[in-house]
Amino acid sequence: MVKENAHSEYSSILMTAEELLESLCLVRWHTAMRTYGNDHATLVGLLTDWWIGLDSSSNWVIDSGPAFGHRARGQGRGNCDLLLGHEGNAVGVVEVEGTRFSWCVEKIGHFFRAENPVFSHLRFGIILIYPVEPSGRGTEREVAELPWDDLVQKTQRVTRAYAGRNLALLYLRKRYVREQTAEARRINDYYRCVPTTVKGAVMVDGTLVAELNDLTAHG
């Protein structure tokens, strides 16, 4: 079990799986709860703020970090959203994704096994997923739950292949709220989706080590 009251005294590169999840409770999730539409830029920024805040003298971040390798045309770029560094080494990689969830999990594995020496000191990865828009009609219109259990299993498989590397899976949940007082949020249903909770789990060596149903309640 993760301790209920997280603290900020974490060694940036020596965190256990449990400590990583505790530390992620310190992300300023209340900002995400008040952000509507496409969350990508906000979430990337919040994770940047979290990492630098852990150790502002030794931690650093590359936004839109380097790719894990070359890819054929039409297959998309292999760049990461964030590369997290501590002193002289890159120690963590972050992916924030609103659509291709399974590919996002696989992509972290590409970074863990990348031949580029830049990635040779990676100790953990973070995947933050979020739904984009609602589905259904009328009173049944809602934001569908993402396939959490399936993604946890995929994440476990990735960590099984890379011993000792923690991989956190985070899920920003949303609900659809038709009635809105702000005119701008009535423009389309995209803006009517309201963030509610952040679910999190950390896997290492193929095992689910720590899980919290709502990180916002433990920060």
Q: Give residue-wise pLDDT tens across range 40-94.
A: 999 999 999 999 999 999 999 999 999 987 555 544 468 999 999 999 999 999 9
Longest dimension (CA), the chain: 54
Could you give the CA distance from residue 16 to residue 158 in angstroms, rounded to a whole number? 17
pLDDT at residue 12, as a whole number: 53
Asked whether 112 and 162 are in contact (CB, 8 A), the reply is yes
Range 169-198 burial, b when 16+ CB lie within 10 A, else e: bbbbbbebeeeeeeeebeeebebbbbbebb
Q: Tell which residue, 109, 47, 50, 111, has the closest CA to residue 79.
A: 111
Within 13 Å of residue 180, how many CA atoms lie on the same side as its CB?
18
User: Is pLDDT at 119 greater than 90 in this prediction?
Assistant: yes
Between 179 and 152, the higher pLDDT residue: 152
**In the predicted model, what is the mean pLDDT of the chain?**
89
Which of the four pLDDT bands, split at 50, 70 and 90, describes residue 190? Answer: confident
